[in-house]
Structure 1
């Protein structure tokens, strides 16, 4: 059996948004982070106080544990109970017991996993997760892997009247330059290790993913892609795109000297001038559209480009190694956020984007902005921290000591293309349009209550929203389904995410009881409390590295022969695929005050749901595929809204 086959359903490609249940930083750490980021006063440290270094805790973080076969088997079997009938459950349990019995195949694979843990730099899961969760996946990254986030509109950088199409506005340039300067500030902190380390209460969290954002890129190759990260990230330029034309734009001096926001603005204006002065027939082909293609198709086209000319090698290298991408769109999407987020999700036609960069920032000519991120190098909580700081401090982006260093000139990045590449681009445009037209994505900005009220009635906000989704799905479809929520395991070295299997015996009892006309509010509250407790137990286990899905993936990856694959009945049994066929795939990116985001569904018949719980509101994004007659994002949105309101009534 091909190990990669079911992983489209297991890895939560944009948990990102594709993020994780967001670990809450202590108030002290968050205050310190904001101060260090933007205030020159942060440099004035008490003479007796030694500032914390970003990566000082890495050496004392524990390694990700390998759960025992017995505890994984027990938790796995419990997760199968609500989704299998009696006969199927008996067969599945027998396969599990056979796998984990003393002297069985499970012990052999477990031994190999421990052996691997002794050779991996950070954890036994690191290479397995990158390869099986991302790099071996051959479907397009756009929609399937990349996540999006839209920033709240800014009073400083937003126009009352939308400019005409084809115009790049002053407000747009100003906001883009401001964000670029802020991003340079953040990169400086990571490079100098002065970004304060993060904690969950007093437990230090792994900071390694902060090394994987600036300058990171994905390379399309066969049979699997490659991810490249560098730290410190010392490139002095960014990539800027406008009307599919690509430019290398220096934003610091030759020795890394920081310049004013106005100096960066001027560089962006040079890009606009260069594009406007280039006749349409002389413009470069829209090579960026190829990054939206099937990974094998793009890998082949990339190799063709590299073979056509040394210029193409230099151009691709320049894009790859830039700090990040800025996309200047000479148009604005609808003011309606239900529509506007599509431009950030996929640009409606995949043009003027480079989906292989870890971060590409998108600016419309009415001042609206967002980000499209490649998920492979980091989970959403990491760029989420960066974005939170950017939006919250939009008008304080100047470096502490800007110089008057002369910035190098912008440089148009050229491609030599042949007829084969031109034809591949045309087909990529067709394929991208089909994918984009198939995505049904909408939002909820629910302002009737948020975490303040939920805490007042003694409900875990995250677990409560998970039960909202369970009730909404049951009402909509008359049944329940395997459900994915991502949990952070950053308490361990190199930790990323683990799956929380939300659908449980207790969640099923809750939704059935809630819909029972004969159940009173006391009974409904009891069932909800029990379901929340069950969910929190799984969340705690997952965050402690003792979930089901990553361990089973690791064991499955240790099989070496066809005979072992046949012998591993636990993976051959239909219940294995069925239990991780996540028609509900969700992630929590709270609080959502400064931005909100989303990602695509992970199975054709499913929904991708990102949510953010603010103090007085809850935001959702809901995506599905129009090709599936069973799903409809807007109709399911109404079921979520109904569940939100009805559950509040029950709790008083």
Structure 2
């Protein structure tokens, strides 16, 4: 506005000083490293629409436990083994609390996966699933309330470095690779989306890369009652992982878990025949 022109004296445009050749060289090197890292990421983003937390809660199961056990089943089918699994847990009960680790690959979860893959009876599989889900919820509860172990291990590591003390135990424990790194991303803007009338206009949120060179990163977002969004990542440089293949395994595992946990009407035809007689 003309009236206030005198309040803003004109200055010549600021131009940044030229970088020295050494700085330019370091910038170029850093850019090349960052570009190589980005180009190596194999990322697959997809929405799972067959069901969501609404259907899972009707089975009286924690949606997070259900999803995590589906990931264990998917990983076992993909790599024919189990692995150390990271799941982030919030520690909001504490001032300035951030996260703690849930080691969600448990003995109970492995027993359930093996039972499903070996063709055990549905009732036996359901019993094992309930035990695995209860174990997972307890692990999550411990992490959330400050009884996890990984932040304590990290604190001991920092102290050992400060004191210059070598710890073979910490070296071994902290060097174990997290080949399956997972995290649930909360959605706080659901009111901005109309999933019924515009199901294709929904934010898929964000994800992250794999922690280990031979592992997967899986971010999942529970969107409303009927959809779960997934971000699966791995590295092109490791030939035995594939984000699209693992994404297909996740979808298959979710459907198989729902099938196992939903008793079929014809599960015991002999007993039904006796009732009808």
| Aligned partner of 1:543 among 144, 147, 152 | 144
Cα distance, 1:448 vs structure 2:
0.8
Q: Number of residues paired by the alignment?
A: 240
- In 2, Cα distance between equivalents of 1:530 and 1:408: 72
Aligned mates of 1:441, 1:554 — CA distance in 2:
32
Cα distance in 1 for residues equivalent to 2:55 and 2:246: 24
Q: Deviations over 1:433-478 (max 9, x none)?
A: 2222111111120111111111011110111111111000001111
- The residue number in structure 2 matching 1:585 is 181
Number of the residue aligned with 1:5: none
Equivalence for 2:275: none
Structural mapping, 1:211-250, within 5 Å: none
> Which residues of 2 match residues 180-199 of structure 1 at below 5 A?
none
Match of 2:196 in 1: none
Contact 2:204 2:229 in 1 (8 A): no
Q: Does 1:467 align with 2:59?
A: no
1 CA distance for matches of 2:116 and 2:8? 64
The verdict on how the C-alpha distance between 1:426 and 1:502 changes in structure 2, with shifts beyond 3 A counting, is same
Provide the rounded CA distance (Å) in 2 between the counterparts of 1:408 and 1:424.
38
CA distance in 1 between counterparts of 2:133 and 2:10 reads 58
Alpha-carbon offset, residue 637 of structure 1: 1.0
Q: How many Å apart are 1:606 and its aligned residue?
A: 1.2
- Structure 2 residue runs without a partner (length 5+): 1-6, 191-202, 263-277
Which residue of the partner structure matches residue 611 of structure 1?
220
Specify whether residues 466 and 419 from structure 1 end up closer, same or farther in structure 2 by C-alpha distance, changes over 3 A only.
same
- 1:503 corresponds to 2:102: no
C-alpha separation in 1, matches of 2:61 and 2:9: 56
- Deviations along 1:244-263, whole A, 9 cap, x unmatched? xxxxxxxxxxxxxxxxxxxx
Q: Distance in 1 between matches of 2:9 and 2:54?
A: 51
Report the Cα distance in structure 1 between the residues aligned to 2:177 and 2:132, rounded to whole angstroms.
Answer: 21
Partner of 1:534: 135
1:429: Cα distance to partner?
3.5
Matched, 1:651 2:261: yes
Match of 2:90 in 1: 488
Aligned-residue offset at 1:484? 0.4
Q: What's the CA shift for 1:558?
A: 2.5
Matches within 5 A, 1:380-395: none
SS in 2 for 1:582: coil
Task: Trace 1:124-139 onto structure 2 (pairs within 5 A).
Answer: none
Corresponding residue to 1:622 among 232, 242, 264: 232
Q: Give the Cα separation in 2 of the matches to 1:633 and 1:462.
A: 21
User: Distance between the aligned counterparts of 1:473 and 1:631, measured in 2?
Assistant: 10
Which SS does the other structure have where 1:598 is aligned? coil
2:87–2:104: 8 Å Cα contact kept in structure 1?
yes
Quickly say closer, same or farther: Cα 1:419–1:554, change in 2 above 3 A: closer
How much has 1:595 moved relative to structure 2?
4.6
C-alpha distance in 2 between matches for 1:409 and 1:446: 56
CA distance in 2, matches of 1:408, 1:506: 72
SS class of match (2:205):
strand
Aligned: 1:513 with 2:115: yes
Whole-Å separation in 1 of the counterparts to 2:228 and 2:81: 25
Residue 408 of structure 1 deviates from its aligned partner by 10
Aligned equivalents of 2:109, 2:132: Cα separation in 1 = 5
Once residues 637 and 499 of structure 1 are traced to their aligned partners in structure 2, the CA distance between those partners, rounded to angstroms, is: 23
